[in-house]
Amino acid sequence: MQLPIPAGPVALRAWRREDVEALAAEANSRAVWRNMIHTFPHPYTLEDAEQWVDGCIDQSPQRDLVIASNDRLIGVCGIQLGEGVSTYTGSVGYWLGEQHWGRGIASTAFAAFLEYVWATFPVERLQAEVFAWNPASARVLEKNGFTLEGTRRKAIHKDGELIDEWFYSLLREDR
Ligand SMILES: CC(C)(COP(=O)(O)OP(=O)(O)OC[C@H]1O[C@@H](n2cnc3c(N)ncnc32)[C@H](O)[C@@H]1OP(=O)(O)O)[C@@H](O)C(=O)NCCC(=O)NCCS
């Protein structure tokens, strides 16, 4: 599937070195960090952004895509491909800089990302985990056809709290 992919007011595109500054600016947010797994740093420095962009720029095909508004990075969508017995499973995720929340951008960008994923990777199952204090993300998944498979009670330790984790999935045949 050809990049960039238009997605309403934004587009999904491949990474560029020039994304480092916008990435550090958008990702350096406690509100974003609070909903991400432990590998997402806070504070999010320029060095963190450089390291991330370095890891993305040579991906072929791209597993992580930039969510861009007027060509500037405002968020990220990505997939981690499973291995071994999980070869046909992909774990998907996304985040958006805080000032862009509440305008339907994540739902639209993620819908476009799913089209890209189904067309690009031979996965049969997509899964996503959501911390139970993040109903907005659960809604993004549900609006895109994901089903709640279950709750892992107190599975997550984040920001000094033990919280539940919601487990969502979407099969290729569910589309
Ligand atoms: C989760 C996130 C991507 C949502 O981005 P967004 O662009 O604001 O999302 P959208 O506007 O497309 O959709 C949000 C939906 O959640 C709903 N919502 C928002 N806050 C809510 C709440 N407290 N309770 C229930 N629903 C809520 C909105 O009404 C909307 O649903 P609707 O279209 O049916 O009205 C963004 O908040 C974010 O980046 N958060 C930090 C990182 C993160 O959580 N990543 C996902 C990890 S699983």
Domains and CATH numbers, the chain: 5-126 (3.40.630.30)
The pLDDT, as a whole number, for residue 46 is: 98
**Ligand 1 centre from 121 Cα, in Å?**
26
Residue 129: how many other CB atoms lie within 10 Å: 17
The CA 136 to ligand 1 mean position distance, Å, reads: 3
Determine which residue's CA is closest to atom 44 belonging to ligand 1: 35
The candidate with the shortest Cα–Cα distance to 103, out of 145, 133, 74, is 74
Contacts of the segment 112-117: beta carbons below 8 A, 24+ positions apart: 112/5, 112/6, 112/7, 112/12, 113/7, 113/12, 113/65, 113/77, 114/144, 114/170, 115/1, 115/5, 116/1, 116/3, 116/5, 116/12, 116/65, 117/79, 117/90, 117/92
Question: What would the pLDDT profile of 25-77 be if each residue is shown by its tens digit?
Answer: 999 999 999 999 999 999 999 999 999 999 999 999 999 999 999 999 999 99
The residue contributing the CA closest to ligand 1 atom 19 is 136
| pLDDT at residue 175 is higher than 90 | no
Pocket of ligand 1 contains residue 9 by CB under 6 Å? no
Q: What is the mean pLDDT of the chain?
A: 98
Going by alpha carbons, the residue nearest to atom 37 of ligand 1 is 101
pLDDT in tens, 112-149: 999 999 999 999 999 999 999 999 999 999 999 999 99
Protein residue closest via CA to atom 5 of ligand 1: 106
Within 10 angstroms of residue 161's Cβ, the number of other Cβ atoms is 11
For residues 175 and 86, which has the higher predicted lDDT (pLDDT)?
86
pLDDT (mean) for 16-33? 98
For the entire predicted model, the pTM comes to: 0.98
The predicted-structure confidence for 80-122, as pLDDT tens digits, reads as follows 999 999 999 999 999 999 999 999 999 999 999 999 999 999 9
Q: What one-letter code names the amino acid at 152? A: R
Q: Which pLDDT score is estimated for 55?
A: 97
